[in-house]
């Protein structure tokens, strides 16, 4: 597993979450996971499913591709 990629993704997720003024708890509730899971995603510790990525992008009101708009 490429941990650098997951870390970059986590930073992107956190950026968009904060831009929406969402707490980890609020985002977690919107997508149906525990807040600690969001924290793990933001730290690059978990590899989310495509369905969860879709739910996150909808909750953040962004295109799914925007979550991956970073340099690896």
Tokens of 62: 């962004």
pTM of the model: 0.92
Provide the H-helix boundaries in 1-72: 3-19, 24-31, 35-42, 50-60
Cβ neighbours around 40 below 10 Å, total: 18
Please report, for the chain, how many H helices and E strands are present, in that order: 4, 0
One pLDDT digit (tens) per residue for the chain, 72 residues: 588 999 999 999 999 999 999 999 999 999 999 999 999 999 999 999 999 999 999 999 999 999 999 876
Rounded Cα distance between 34 and 4, Å, is 23
């Amino acid at each position: 597993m490429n941990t650098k990629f997951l870390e970059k993704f986590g930073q992107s997720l956190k950026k968009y979450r904060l831009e929406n003024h969402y707490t980890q708890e609020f985002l977690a509730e919107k997508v149906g996971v525990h807040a600690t899971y969001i924290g793990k995603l933001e730290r690059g510790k978990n590899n989310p499913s495509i369905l969860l990525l879709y739910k996150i992008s909808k909750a953040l009101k962004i295109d799914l591709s925007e979550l991956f708009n970073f340099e690896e």
